[in-house]
Structure formats: structure tokens, C-alpha cells
Structure 1
């Protein structure tokens, strides 16, 4: 991103205001500067690297090198600087000004998830500064402002995505679109022919022709160009399909993000049965989750009628079977387990789960097996969701089944690992899920479970051999969802 001399001066002025080098922090100087710069069309996502403000370019490069994986580094934004520079001894009036500065930046498009050179979001920076007993301090207020903005942003984006999927066209509009597409194809053909003629004329005139940075000696074949009434042998569509296939072959599949690929993958249980991993060393389930599963099992039967024959429970996603073992201790009258992966099903059969009294194993994806239970009028006292390779939209789709299958006095919960590789993401999605559950008529409260430092610590040996740590936050918020 490049800027003129005057724009660069405005950008530097913005970063100076956000650095709070001058005290007191007040509306007349700090907030007014932010508003003035924004109204002069300087992007709220401008970074220090855009303005050449790095004091040590080599150090910045080193920081970039420590970022692993497919993380995209955006740079240090004004929001990062506010979170890094806001004084811990600020007065309540100064805090209000800083919060207004942040809101102004958000209104102009500042991003709560942009990463600086150390791979940190503004929220990550604010969280680190507010640690150590200062959770109720002015620094915590700065962090909470980031969480609030992130929640609004994610809820808004989900609404936009929903509305984009609901669009209906009349027959007349549909026909108009088809005509437009045909005209567009004809125009594309004319443009391609014109390009070919221009290249040919240039070559005849002895001029060098450069295509995609390389000199060419002949006219390249054109996609869809007709010559002598015959189309080119290979269409653009076929070429694109070949390119996509080649990319698929060379790029490693993300098993954590593709359910179909995950279900085809070979899973391995470690010898001590403490970890279930994919061929890419993704941790499908690990035994550090034991306490969470124990308390989840307690929760699922907490509202069961004591005069009943026993709770009716459902767990979606067997994994290591930790929660199912705890549920068996509750003497359920009916215990449903939904599992789709063939290797896990093989392990379940080997361990005798298929023959356990009162246990019904639903073989397949929950999307395919649960609708039958809806038609049978089955109701659960407790429902639990803990799958691998599904994303947040899948969880929200599952809420639809919860409404139909959960008893009026029942409890629904799930392994709440949403964004658990960053505290700010975890806090944002804790709020987002509450909004989505309310749309289904479900209330949610959270039980806080402290996670062992062997899991959350920087040197946690628990993650040895695991491709990516899927948990770093200190507290697990166990959802308690009821009508």
C-alpha cells in the first residue's frame, strides 16, 4: 500500500495520537486527530510498515520468520498501537476517550483480527497487558472493547451470509440473466480476437510481444476462440479443471477442515489410548480433556427426573470414548452414540460398545442419522456434540436438531473449543454462540473449568508430536444450554 507525502504525514499523525505520548488523553487532541485522519480517507487498517515506521527492519523480518503455517501477517495497525500503548494508570476520563478512539476506528473499517509482525491481534496484545491480576483494570476495558467489536462483526457477517443465500429470481429475471451470459460470452470472444490481431500485427512490425512477463514468438492459443468454424481443442473450462486438479494433488488436504477427507483418512490410537490422531498428526481427541468430559457427563444428567428408569442421552462424536464411559456410570436407560469414522467404529466394536446393554450406535454422520430419531419421537435428557473436521456453521445446524430432540427439561452441551487457540477469539465466539442459541429459543450459561498448565503453557509437553495446538486458553467455558 503506497501513500502520497501528505497522506503519509496524516498516517504518522494518527499513530502518534494512538501512542498516547502526550498526556492527558483528551477529545480535543487525540480523538479529534483520529476523526480528522479518517475523514481524509486514510484507511483504519494502515500499518506502521506502510509508513516505514519500523525502527529496526531486521527485527521486524525476524518476527515474521517465527510465524508458522499459513498465517497472513497484516502489520501493526492503529488498534495494535492503542492496545500496546494505553497507560495502565489512565484516569476514567482518559479511558473513555481511548474507547471512543477505538470505536471511531472500527466505524471506519479497523479489523479486530488483523495480525501484527508477531502474529498477534489487537485483542491478543490487550489481553497480555491485562494479565496478572489486572482483569478489572482500565486495560481490561480496552480488551473488552475489542471483544465487543469482534462479536458485533461476527454476528453481522453471519447475518450477511444468511441473506446472501436467500435470493429468489422470477422466470423473467432468470431469462434475462441467461441472455446476459450469452452476450458476455460473445463480447469475450470479440475481445480475445482483437487481442490476437493486435499481437499478430505487432510481431509483423518487428516489435517484441510480452505476455505474463515473458517474450513470446507466436500468437498464444485463445480460450474459446473459433477458427474456420471449429472451436479450439481444449476449452478454458477443461484447462481450469486440469489446473484445479493439479493444485489438489500438490497441496496437502486440511483434514481438520474437510469432513469428507477426514472420514477417508486413517486414524491411529496411541498405544496408551491417550490420543487419537490423523495421518497428519492432527489431534482428533486427547486425554487432557478428561476432566472436561467428566463434568460434561455430570451436566447431561443433572436435570433427569429421579423417578425415571434412567437418563436418555446422546453423544455425537465418540473419539476416545471418555464422555461415554462417564455416561455409562450414570446408568442411562438409553445411551445413543453417533459416530461416522470407520476406524473409530472398528475400535468401538473391538472394545464391546456395540453389545453394551442400552447402547445404540448410530453409524454415520449425524446429519444422516438424527432425522430418523426425530421421526421416531425420541427425546433426550442430555445431548452432547464433539465432532472433528466440522466448523461453526455445522454446530449451528446441529442446534436445529437440539430443538427437536431435547426434552423440555433436558440439557444440551458441546466441547466449546471455538477459537481456543486465541483468548480473544474464544471470548468473541462465546458471545456469538449465545446470540445464535437465543434464536433457537435456548438459554446458555457457562461453568468455568480451569485447564491444566501442561496444556496451556508455552512448553506444554502434552502437545509433543501433535501438528497444531488446538487449545491455549486458561479457562474452559462449559456451555449449559436449556429451554
Structure 2
């Protein structure tokens, strides 16, 4: 019976994928009542979802000719039935990647919008402490649950318990310290010509970013005599650029001990207008708020922190520290290893910034030609940048 059910599942998957590929909306509506929009045909040489198949079937957009209405309706129907916007096929492509490759602009925009909706919904659910069955299964695994032993319920723990838990987490992520900020801060850094590496061979910063950092400084600091703060010193590229604009105060927040040592060696502690705060911004900023510090420009570029950290930074602290006429900038590297992800997360950030009270303007900057696949990435764990254009954000309070 199990084999028969499996054969039925494979047959249904093939029928759903075939209907999606033909852009047969009527048949697809009926089939999706029985099966999922995320099925894959395990017998296919290149497994892909119905959404991948529907977009691939559009073919290349040539002479301005794009997907027809049936194709668009098929994509919309699959998304409405739970198709995953960033699902990967065996070619390591998302559906949006395929649309971009084929030049299908309308379909690509639909996928970007779907990604934005999904990420905003996920963020809201996370904020409310809600999750689906998959989240519950993941939590069970993290809590050490097995078939024989149920997961323990999360309860209040002592400070010693927190430290013990943190040690376990750090031990688990030592293979890639960029996954956990505290593990990264305990890791050994390596400064090499043109690059800063963590002990997991992740590129923390590279000198190809110099033009971008210089432009950030120019957009944030239009004149001398301003009070400026940068969070995350790294190789010192943006702080060096900030100094050329002659700030009255130049605050630097940096948490890694080895970077502190480099700051000392390079004489940053001795500069009369520079104030260095040793520690994580999560610990430093509440103190600055309490002191009543007001800044004309703030820049953020940390490592081993996710988007939720950036969102907390601007929604909780920039709004308290930035002068009414001040400017806030941040290194926009969200999802920069894939164009569809970069476009989605850039839009999500813009919407979250607006909700926090900021208007955002964007400036497109071409990254160095041939950066993707170049020898610059040799010796690194993975390229963190594979797209052609950097979108530089400048944020000011909504008026």
C-alpha cells in the first residue's frame, strides 16, 4: 500500500508540474485541491517545483515580448496556493532567478513582490511568537527532542544557565563563526592585504568596497564640524573616509578585541576628535541615549548579525540618537549573493524604515567589473557579493 501511495504521489506531482508548465490554469486549480504547489517530481533529471516549471516554460523574452496572461495567471495561482518564492531547484536557482535569466520582467517583478510579502509576513509572525508546523519541528530538534523523548518546554533560566546555553550554541557554530555574533567576537581575525578574514575564512571586509564606503561618507557628511558615529570598524575604510570630512566628533563602536588592537596600532585612540567605544552596540547605545548624545550622521556596518539586528538598530536607537536633520546610512549587503534576494530585502528594509519614521533615497553604484568569479575570493569560504550594482541608502526622518 505504501508503494502504491508513493506511485500516486509521484503521478500527482507530475500532473501538477505538467499543468504548470502548460500554463493550464483550469487544470491546475483542480489538481491543487489534491496536491501541493511545492511538489517535485523525484524521477525527473532536474527536480524543480511547479513554479520553476511555469516560469521556465515562458522562454526568453525577445524583442520586448514577455509572458502571456495565462503564464502570469499560473504564477499568481501557484503563489496564492503557497508556492515558495525562494525555493531552489537542483541548478541552485529560485523561480525569480529563472525569470531574471529569461528577461521576463513582469514575472520577475511578481516574484519580488511575492518575496516581500512573504518576508514581511514572516517578520510579523516572528514578532508575535507565531510559527508554523515546520518551525515547531525545528524547535523540537533544537531542544533535543527525539521519537523517544519529547522536547522540554522553554522556561525561565538563571544567568548561569544562559551562559551555559550560549557556550553550547557557540560550540555548534564554530565551523562558521559568522552564524553567531558572540562566536565571531571570540574568533581569531586575519588582516591580509586588501581583506579581513574571520577564522572560518569568511571575508569580513574587502578593499573593493572602498568606493562604496567613500560615497557613504560623502552622502552622510555634507560639511565639516558634524557629530558622526560609525558602528563596525573592520578594516577602517569608512572611518578613514569619515575623517576626510573633518567631523567635530567621530564615535566608533567596535566589539572585536583584535580590531581594538589594530585601532591602537594605527593611532585612532590618539586622534583628538575620535571617541572609541569598546563593546557591542547593543550595550553601548543605551548608554549614549542616557547621556543625551545627539548625532548628525550614523553609519552601520557590522558582521555576523542578521537583518533583525539592523532593524532593531534603526527602529530602537537611530530614532533616539539622530538629530532631526541628520542622516542614517547602512551597508546594504542583504542577500547580495543573489539578485532576487537583494531586490526583495532592499524593498523590505525600505518599508521597515518607513514604518520606523524614515524616508529612504537610493543611489546605484556599479561594483568593480568582474568581481564575481574573480581571484579576489580565493581563500574565502564563499563570495558575499555576486551582483553588479550596489544600492546605497540614505535615510532621513519623514517630514
Normalised to the residue count of structure 1, the TM-score between the two structures is 0.70
Aligned residue pairs total 363
1:216-250 deviation per Cα after TM superposition (whole angstroms, max 9, x unaligned): xxxxxx989xxxxxxxxxxxxxxxxx9x9999768
Residue 45 of structure 1 is matched in structure 2 by 38
SS in structure 1 opposite 2:32? Answer: helix
Residue 31 of structure 1 is matched in structure 2 by 25
SS in structure 2 opposite 1:382? Answer: strand
Determine if the alignment matches structure 1 residue 386 to structure 2 residue 351. Answer: no
Question: For 2:205, which of 285, 293, 296 is the aligned residue?
Answer: 285
Determine if the alignment matches structure 1 residue 148 to structure 2 residue 113. Answer: yes
C-alpha spacing 1:269/1:245, structure 2 compared with 1 (3 Å): closer
Residue 71 of structure 2 is matched in structure 1 by 98
Aligned ranges 1:41-440 → 2 under 5 Å: 41-49=34-42, 52-54=43-45, 60=46, 75-87=47-59, 88=61, 95-130=68-103, 139-164=104-129, 252-270=174-192, 272=193, 274-302=194-222, 310-399=225-314, 400-440=316-356
Determine if the alignment matches structure 1 residue 472 to structure 2 residue 348. Answer: no
C-alpha spacing 1:310/1:123, structure 2 compared with 1 (3 Å): same
CA distance in 2, matches of 1:267, 1:43: 46
1:126-158 deviation per Cα after TM superposition (whole angstroms, max 9, x unaligned): 11222xxxxxxxx11111111110110000010
Residue 359 of structure 2 is matched in structure 1 by 443
C-alpha spacing 1:93/1:86, structure 2 compared with 1 (3 Å): closer
C-alpha spacing 1:312/1:42, structure 2 compared with 1 (3 Å): same
C-alpha spacing 1:163/1:294, structure 2 compared with 1 (3 Å): same
* Cα RMSD after superposing both structures: 2.7
CA distance in 1, matches of 2:173, 2:308: 25
Task: Give the CA deviation at 1:99.
Answer: 1.8
On the 8 A contact 2:55/2:75 being kept in 1, the answer is no
CA distance in 2, matches of 1:433, 1:223: 41
C-alpha spacing 1:141/1:93, structure 2 compared with 1 (3 Å): closer
C-alpha spacing 1:386/1:95, structure 2 compared with 1 (3 Å): same
Residue 135 of structure 2 is matched in structure 1 by none
C-alpha spacing 1:53/1:280, structure 2 compared with 1 (3 Å): closer
Gaps of 5+ in 2: 131-146, 151-163
Task: Give the CA deviation at 1:6.
Answer: 5.5
SS in structure 1 opposite 2:371? Answer: helix
Normalised to the residue count of structure 2, the TM-score between the two structures is 0.85
Task: Give the CA deviation at 1:9.
Answer: 4.3
Rg (Cα) greater in structure: 1
Gaps of 5+ in 1: 55-59, 61-74, 131-138, 166-211, 213-221, 225-241
Task: Give the CA deviation at 1:453.
Answer: 2.3
